Structure 1
Amino acid sequence: MKKLQNQKGFTLIEMLIVLLVITVLLLITIPNVTKHNSSIQKKGCEGLVNMVQAQVTAFKIDHNKTPTIDDLMREGYLKGSEPPVCPNGSKVNITASGEVTATNSE
């Protein structure tokens, strides 16, 4: 019979310790990522609103009138075939005075 003392590898205890460490790291990381998801979406929406507001200002300078979303898209100030929508699903609107806001579609 061969002796098993010279074989190299990980023991069951070592593998369980590694799995425990990985589990603890995942338990710490996952809640932090999901907790920041709403603030990430909020900041993305604020950025989109600011970008559309800049395009409204540029349109006003070029055409001396307050645009609608359709005007901005038709004239090439906004790209895409659909009106802009925030990451959280809010629609971007332009008021009669030219202020850009984001409102929930619900």
Structure 2
Amino acid sequence: MKRLKRFLKKTAAPQKGFTLLEMVIVLAIIALLMLIVIPNLNAQRETAAKRSDAALEQVVNNQAEMYANDKGQAIENVTLEDLHNDQYLNDDQFNRAQKMNKEPNHATSVKK
């Protein structure tokens, strides 16, 4: 009887580790979470880029107004190069505005 009890204790001892089914379930849950999160990250990135572009456009327009007021000239004649050369725009702002083709907005026309 004692031998039987010892044998049952050895074979009935809980095993450590995960079963294959548990691992598959965990991986499926992680995959579902990734399917939910990744599209949201891309949407947030696009929203941030649009806001950044709008902010840069406003900076360029504000700096063009300041330049025109300081120089006593019509705002329609202000270019990105003028703003950059007289340090109304820093190098990063100037380069981004050129890439985006964001000249100062004079009413509704875009000057090149």
Same fold (TM over 0.5): yes
Name the CA distance, whole Å, in 2 between partners of 1:69 and 1:48: 12
Looking at CA atoms only, which structure, 1 or 2, has the larger radius of gyration?
2
Where structure 2 has 5 or more consecutive residues not aligned to the other structure, the ranges are 1-6
Number of aligned residue pairs: give it: 98
Check the 8 A contact 1:68/1:94 in 2, yes or no: yes
Structure 1 gap segments, 5+ residues each: 102-106
Q: Report the equivalent of 2:91.
A: 80
Residues 63 and 99 of structure 1, relative CA distance in 2, 3 Å threshold: farther
Rounded Cα–Cα distance in structure 2 between residues aligned with 1:98 and 1:73: 21
Secondary structure of the corresponding residue to residue 16 of structure 2:
coil
The alignment's TM-score, normalised by the length of structure 2, stands at 0.66
Q: How does 1:31-70 map to 2 (within 5 A)?
A: 31-65=39-73, 66=75, 67-70=78-81
Please show how residues 8-23 of structure 1 align to structure 2 within 5 Å.
8-23=16-31
